[in-house]
Amino acid sequence: MTSTLDDSEKEKARSVSVDLNNDASLLIDIPDALCERDKVKFTVHTKTTLSSFQKPDFSVPRQHEDFIWLHDTLVETEDYAGLIIPPAPPKPDFESPREKMHKLGEGEATMTKEEYTKMKQELEAEYLAVFKKTVQVHEVFLQRLSSHPILSKDRNFQIFLEYDQDLSVRRKNAKETFGSFFKNMVKSADEVIISGIKEVDDFFEQEKTFLLDYSSKIKDSTARAEKMTRSHKNVADDYIHISATLNSLSVDDNTALKKHLEKFADLFEKLRKVEGRVASDEELKLTELLRYYMLDIQAAKDLLYRRARALADYENSNKALDKARLKSKDITQAEEHQQQCLQKFDKLSESGKRELTSFKGRRVVAFRKNLIEMAELEIKHAKNNMALLQGCIELLKSN
Amino acid sequence: MKMATSSERSPPPFPEDLEPEPDEVGDQDSDDGEDIFLGADNPLEIKMDPSLSASDIASSTKPLSEASSPPVMDILSEPASEASSAPMVDLLMEPASEAFSAPMMNLLMEPASEASSAPMVDLLMEPASEASSAPMNLLMQPASNASGAPMVDFLMEPASDDLKEPPKPDIDPLADIINDTPLSEVKTLVAAMPQEPPSDLFDDEPSELFAEPRQSNTAKQQQTSIFDEPDEDLFSDPLGEASKKPQNDVFKEALAPVAKASNVCGPLSDNYKEDPTDIFTEEAITTLPSAVSTVSVNSKTNGVHSDEEEPDIFAEATVELSLDSPRNDRKKKEAGKPSASAPAPSVSASASKPQPKTLEELEEEVEDKFELNISITNPEKVGDGMNAYMAYKVSTQTTLPMFRSKTFTVRRRFSDFLGLYEKLSDKHTLNGYIVPPPPEKSIMGMTKVKVGKEDNSSAEFVERRRAALERYLQRVVFHPSLLQDPDVREFLERDDMPRAHNTQALSGAGFLKMINRATDSISKMTIKMNESDVWFEEKLQEVEAEDQQLRKLHIMVDSLVGHRKELSVNTGGFAKSVAMLGSSEDNTALSRALSQLAEVEDKMEQLHQEQAASDSFCFAELLADYIRLLGSVRASFDQRMKSWQRWQDAQNMLQKKRETEAKLLWANKPDKLQQAKDDITEWEAKVTQYERDFDRVSATVRKEVLRFEKEKARDFKKQIIKYLESLLQSQQQLIKYWEAFLPEAKAIA
């Protein structure tokens, strides 16, 4: 399946999950994307006034894996330990619409042609929505980097934007995949260990409790919102079948009922469009918001972990220094190490505090925007529904 | 298919279409009646009577007149056995003692006429046929030993008219009885026309009248003349389109014979006229003044026809004549018919013609102010454990005079409803009626209720069943013919209902099996039957296609209900989760907004839940009802096919008999020839009978299907609107909730 996005469509789908203070010196967007089976090729377009780039305006082809590579290099860069690294965009997931399409094909015999066509259209629309969402999250990732004062200067980021050949990032092989899995395990275990260390800063103490709590809650909310929107979608899909069956019922009918059935079928067809919009808007405004902040909070938690790690290192270096002094051996070395650790920790604390505060502001703004938009859309759709229903009721009654 | 084949005497051949009709009324009535009087009489046997007698009558009128007296006696004595009919018995007994005095004849005749008018209301589509059947019955029944069968027939007939035109018919005759002074015009006309013969005749002994074959002959002539034209008119038109034009024709034509009849027959003719007046007065009094007048003049004591009388008079009349209950009225009519014997037919025949017109009008009226409301309330668990059952309060509110009081309630359990269906189905399905089926038994649902869990699903089950039973019962009483059934009345009225047995056969799977069997036999028979009537073929196909679509739609709606419930549950889950998230949120305004969102989602959960319930109650249940009803529709088509099959078989048999006769002739065996001839006569009669049966069933099925479609359209429209309104309401609520939330979202800072 191949599809492309045109500009106008993308405009609508543009990120709403994050509020970015776009700085005109570096503007990034993905005007076009091409989907070939599992691979999605994004065209990353950059407009800049910065002298560090060779040209003011350029486009490069990038794949999802390139984004992951960029993310990973940023995470691994020691200098950015005190920053919240924007979460990597999730892998494009076309499985669910594909699977549905497959099921639809199997059930084709039980449906009328019209019904099948509508279901197919609906699935295509769903597929397109997934596609748009994918493009959007990738774009948001780059935009967050570009709007970040430090990360936007990153060399790898600039290469990612500028290098006009295929980056041909090496895909992770099995060993490396296992390695990163193992690393995660170690990290989790480490988190448990260092969680015993006494926090020296109230701000971070609070942030930690908050983020831990919030992260588990938002994870739950995201899953439930997903479930909710999915069942809403199912309801809208049922309307299609009902409408189609009512239609074929009206074809067979020759009595006064025929007209009523036609109207009824027609109404259901209209209602399902509205209902479908309700479902997809809920998905976009609510589920996506929650999902994005679930990932972002994970990134914030990672920052806290790195800082806690640094704190632990500093404590250890303190102990090592004490030991050295006791033994009167390698004191200078230990002092140096202790100083380094302290510096690192202080630096992390300082930038972490800044990052977390800005994260909080960003989150509140994004929630506000999305909740308002969702409420407005809900009202709009419900009013549409009402108008449709009222019209139909009047029509039926007047007959 | 000429009926006249067996009788050379009958002057003008009966129009073909007419022939099946007599049985229609007689047959159907006898079905009903057997319960009351004859117990388990086989309707088929009864059916045979008319056919045999028909030929008898056709060939000789004498037996008729002879026979006519015994039936009267029978009738008079029989009703007495029914406790409820006490006053009526009085009425009947009096005249009886006078041994067929003229007034008594009048009295008896009137009801007869009414009876004949009754079917008109009943039969939207082929009123003429049923109406004309009445006279035929009159002719035949007395001839056939005047046993219980004819009596029963008459008993039942009036029942049908009660349904359709609730108070009117009753008022008319009664008012007349009281009020000897009808319309002035009427009187003058009377004076002009029939004065002489009536007076003569009245002086004569009524028995003479009866004895004279001449009378019946004349009557027959009229009858035939009436039948010839108008009937054919009616029948040549598509029944469904029995619109006003043909009817008007018929109406006019019918008038002439009536007038003739009055001249020729004297007192008898008076009686005939009364009947028409009944009918005519309702729509156009002026058209038939002569008839009215004759009546009033001739029979002061019981001349029964001034339509303009007020209910007051009616009341008085009831006192005087003790005709207060429709039942009595009915009996009177019944009684009247047999005694009327020969003359009656012409009357009812002529009377029947104008009926089609009134029919539709009346039906409209009836629909507008249908005076029977049934509600089922207060489901209550009776007993404990596995013997427990739910009892429902069945409340009836009615102004129909056929019921003893205006409001009454009884308690019924589910199996009673099934029992009612079984009784109705036994009686009416055979004749091609669409008997509304009750909701299916649900062992699962009921077991839950029995176990006594007061949870949501069992409450929902009980409510669902209550509503289904209510709809079922409403459909039954809304059916004009079924409402007439004594079992329906008993079901609604009787306090101590005998326990219904063997309802198991109808439970869940059994019911489905039954439908499937019907379906199978339909498909089997379709192969054999080369359909003579395209209408039926098309309709059956339509019904089958509709059945499939409805089933599919039902599955879809069920899935919608399921998904909506799922949505409700998921929304509830999300609401809780968001509430938790809100409590964790450290930004105060955002935390507040999130908990508000949780509240909104909580309400949404409720809203989805309610919507799922109305998806199910308003929409899915409607579909389930109609899937079941279509099963009954198919069963009625099936009946028609069976009837056709029987006719064909009889024809084949006749063919064989004829061949045998030919062979015998060839072989020159005179000894066996007589037997062969007898056989042929017998089978000819059977063929005629079966063909009539088939035509009758066809007519009924057609009428029923059209009625069903009309009802369906009305029902669907009503339910769809109801359903859409429920959707509309939930959207309104939804807007309200979100609008309340919007400022909260905006307040996030």
Question: Tens of pLDDT along B556-569?
Answer: 999 999 999 999 99
The H-or-E segment that residue B410 falls in is strand B407-413
Q: What is the pLDDT of residue B515?
A: 65
For testing the chain B interface, which of A252, A268, A293, A356 should be mutated: the one with the most B CBs within 10 Å?
A252
**Three-class SS of residue B300?**
coil
Chain B residues with CB-CB distance to A376 below 8 A = 742
Q: What is the pLDDT of residue B498?
A: 67
**Arithmetic mean of pLDDT, A273-287:** 90
- Measured CA to CA, the distance from residue B34 to residue B30 in angstroms comes to 6
Q: What is the pLDDT of residue B155?
A: 39
* Backbone torsions φ then ψ of A50, nearest 5 degrees: -75, 140
* B371-378: long-range contacts, CB 8 A cutoff, minimum separation 24: B371/B166, B371/B398, B371/B399, B371/B400, B372/B396, B372/B397, B372/B398, B372/B400, B372/B477, B372/B483, B373/B397, B373/B398, B374/B470, B374/B473, B374/B474, B374/B477, B374/B492, B375/B470, B376/B466, B376/B469, B376/B470, B376/B473, B377/B466
Does any CB of chain A come closer than 8 Å to the CB of residue B587? yes
Chain B residues with CB-CB distance to A248 below 8 A = 549
Q: Is A240 exposed, middle or buried (0-12, 13-18, 19+ CB in 10 A)?
A: buried
Nearest to A81 by CA among A299, A296, A297, A278: A299
In the sheet with A39-48, reading across from the earlier edge strand, the strands are A26-36, A39-48, A57-63
Asked if B177 contacts B320 with a C-beta cutoff of 8 angstroms, the reply is yes
| B520 CA: distance to closest CA in chain A (Å) | 22
Query: What residue segments make up the domains of chain A, in order of their start?
Result: 17-168, 189-198+225-398
pLDDT per residue as tens digits for the range A251-270: 877 777 888 888 888 999 99
Residue B490 pLDDT grade (very low, low, confident, very high; cuts 50, 70, 90): confident
- Measured CA to CA, the distance from residue B729 to residue B723 in angstroms comes to 10
Residue B305 pLDDT grade (very low, low, confident, very high; cuts 50, 70, 90): very low
Q: What is the pLDDT of residue B137?
A: 39
pLDDT at residue B369 is higher than 90: no
Q: Which of B570, B590, B735 sits opposite A367 (nearest CB)?
A: B590
Residue B370 pLDDT grade (very low, low, confident, very high; cuts 50, 70, 90): low
**Worst-scoring range by mean pLDDT, A231-245, A382-396, B299-313, B478-492?**
B299-313
Could you tell me which residues are beta bridge partners of residue B398? Answer: B372
Q: Is A55 exposed, middle or buried (0-12, 13-18, 19+ CB in 10 A)?
A: exposed
pLDDT per residue as tens digits for the range B603-632: 999 999 999 999 988 899 999 999 999 988
pLDDT per residue as tens digits for the range B49-84: 444 443 443 344 343 334 344 443 443 334 333 433
Does any CB of chain A come closer than 8 Å to the CB of residue B740? no
Residue B143 pLDDT grade (very low, low, confident, very high; cuts 50, 70, 90): very low
| B471 CA: distance to closest CA in chain A (Å) | 19
For B695, the token pair is 């035509």
Could you tell me which residues are beta bridge partners of residue A58? Answer: A46
Could you tell me which residues are beta bridge partners of residue A41? Answer: A34, A63
pLDDT at residue B407 is higher than 60: yes
Residue B9 pLDDT grade (very low, low, confident, very high; cuts 50, 70, 90): very low
Q: What is the pLDDT of residue A174?
A: 64
Q: Which residue reads 């056939």 in tokens?
A: B144
pTM of the predicted structure, to 2 decimals: 0.63
Let me know if domain A189-198+225-398 sits in CATH 3.40.50.2000. no
CB atoms within 10 A of CB A341: 21
For residue B712, how far is the Cα from the chain centroid?
17
Asked if B145 contacts B722 with a C-beta cutoff of 8 angstroms, the reply is no
pLDDT per residue as tens digits for the range A111-153: 778 788 888 888 888 888 888 888 888 988 998 888 888 888 8
pLDDT per residue as tens digits for the range B167-176: 344 344 433 4
Nearest to B150 by CA among B133, B167, B162, B163: B133
- Measured CA to CA, the distance from residue B290 to residue B302 in angstroms comes to 17
- Which of B106 and A137 is assigned the larger pLDDT? A137
| A247 CA: distance to closest CA in chain B (Å) | 10
Q: Number of Cβ pairs closer than 8 Å across A and B?
A: 161
Which residue of chain A has the CA closest to B546?
A249
**Worst-scoring range by mean pLDDT, A10-24, A152-166, A185-199, B146-160?**
B146-160
Nearby residues of B611 by Cβ (< 8 Å), 6 or more positions away: B564, B726, B727, B730
CA separation, residue B263 to residues B112, B256, B567 (Å)? 20, 11, 80
Q: What is the pLDDT of residue A389?
A: 93
Could you tell me which residues are beta bridge partners of residue B374? Answer: B396
- Which of B216 and B438 is assigned the larger pLDDT? B438
Q: Which residues of B103-129 are buried (b: 16+ CB within 10 A; e: fewer)?
A: bbbbbbbbbbbbbbbbbbbbbbbbbbb
pLDDT per residue as tens digits for the range A49-59: 888 888 888 88
pLDDT per residue as tens digits for the range A363-398: 899 999 999 999 999 999 999 999 999 999 998 888
pLDDT at residue B163 is higher than 60: no
Q: Where are the alpha helices (DSSP H) in B123-183?
A: 127-143, 148-164, 168-178
* Backbone torsions φ then ψ of A26, nearest 5 degrees: -145, 105
- Which of B510 and A35 is assigned the larger pLDDT? A35
Residue A56 carries which DSSP code? S
A379–B735 C-beta distance less than 8 A: yes
Q: What is the pLDDT of residue B502?
A: 53
A364–B741 C-beta distance less than 8 A: no
A368–B745 C-beta distance less than 8 A: yes
Nearest to B271 by CA among B343, B173, B355, B323: B343
Q: What is the pLDDT of residue B513?
A: 58
Does any CB of chain B come closer than 8 Å to the CB of residue A392? yes
Chain B residues with CB-CB distance to A372 below 8 A = 742, 745-746
The H-or-E segment that residue B379 falls in is strand B372-382
| CA dihedral sign, ordered B98, B100, B101, B107 | positive
Does any CB of chain A come closer than 8 Å to the CB of residue B546? yes
B716–A255 C-beta distance less than 8 A: no
Residue B601 carries which DSSP code? H
* Backbone torsions φ then ψ of B379, nearest 5 degrees: -60, 135
Q: What is the pLDDT of residue B641?
A: 84
SS (H, E, C) A340-360: HHHHHHHHHHHHHHHHHHHHH
Q: What is the pLDDT of residue B485?
A: 84
- Which of B683 and B158 is assigned the larger pLDDT? B683
pLDDT at residue A76 is higher than 50: yes
CATH superfamily of A17-168: Phox-like domain (3.30.1520.10)
**Worst-scoring range by mean pLDDT, A13-22, A277-286, B738-747?**
A13-22
**Arithmetic mean of pLDDT, A158-186:** 73
Could you tell me which residues are beta bridge partners of residue B281? Answer: none
Chain B residues with CB-CB distance to A386 below 8 A = 728, 731-732, 735
pLDDT per residue as tens digits for the range A189-236: 777 777 666 777 888 888 888 898 999 999 999 999 999 999 999 999
Asked if B354 contacts B250 with a C-beta cutoff of 8 angstroms, the reply is yes
The H-or-E segment that residue A386 falls in is helix A331-398
Nearest to B23 by CA among B732, B702, B731, B690: B690
Radius of gyration over every alpha carbon of chain B, rounded to an integer in angstroms: 31
* Backbone torsions φ then ψ of B651, nearest 5 degrees: -65, -45
- Which of B227 and B496 is assigned the larger pLDDT? B496
pLDDT at residue B6 is higher than 60: no
Does any CB of chain A come closer than 8 Å to the CB of residue B560? yes
pLDDT at residue B738 is higher than 90: yes
CA triple A171-A172-A173, angle to 5 deg: 110
- Which of B279 and B545 is assigned the larger pLDDT? B545
